[in-house]
Amino acid sequence: MKRQKRAVFDVLSDILKVADKASGVKKTTIVYQANLNFAKAGEYIGMLIEQGFMRNCDGKRNLYVTTEKGRQFLSKYRQLIEEFETDRIS
């Protein structure tokens, strides 16, 4: 059975959720918990850092953390998903 691709925003949301820890997380943790390969994870992490949704934790290159902007994205994205699910049920 062919696996359905996740939407880009679902992937970004998964990465931000994994990295939403005060102490930061390693790329390996993101890869396994967000179900990505290392190359794709690197691309997405780079994009999220460039856009200000993630940052390196306390200057450590190998630890990543979700920023306030990233948390705001997660909150709005969850609200949007809930809105669509509510509309589909009604």
- Residue 3 inside a domain? The answer is no
Tens of pLDDT, residues 24-39 = 999 999 999 999 999 9
Instruction: State the DSSP string of 68-87.
Output: HHHHHHHHHHHHHHHHHHHH
Average pLDDT over residues 55-83: 91
- CB neighbour list of residue 63: distance below 8 Å, 6 or more residues apart: 23, 24, 25, 26, 56, 57
DSSP string, 28-72: HHHHHHTT--HHHHHHHHHHHHHTTSEEEETTEEEEEEE-HHHHH
pLDDT of the residue at 57 = 87
pLDDT digits (tens, 9 = 90+) for 4-27: 788 999 999 999 999 998 889 999
Q: Is residue 16 part of a domain?
A: yes
- pLDDT mean over 49-77: 93
CATH number for 26: 1.10.10.10
Q: How many domains does the chain have?
A: 1
pLDDT band at 85 (very low <50, low <70, confident <90, very high): confident
Domain that holds residue 16: 8-89
User: Does 47 fall in a domain?
Assistant: yes
What CA–CA distance (Å, rounded) separates 62 from 78? Answer: 28
Residue 2 domain-assigned?
no
Q: State the pTM of this model.
A: 0.87
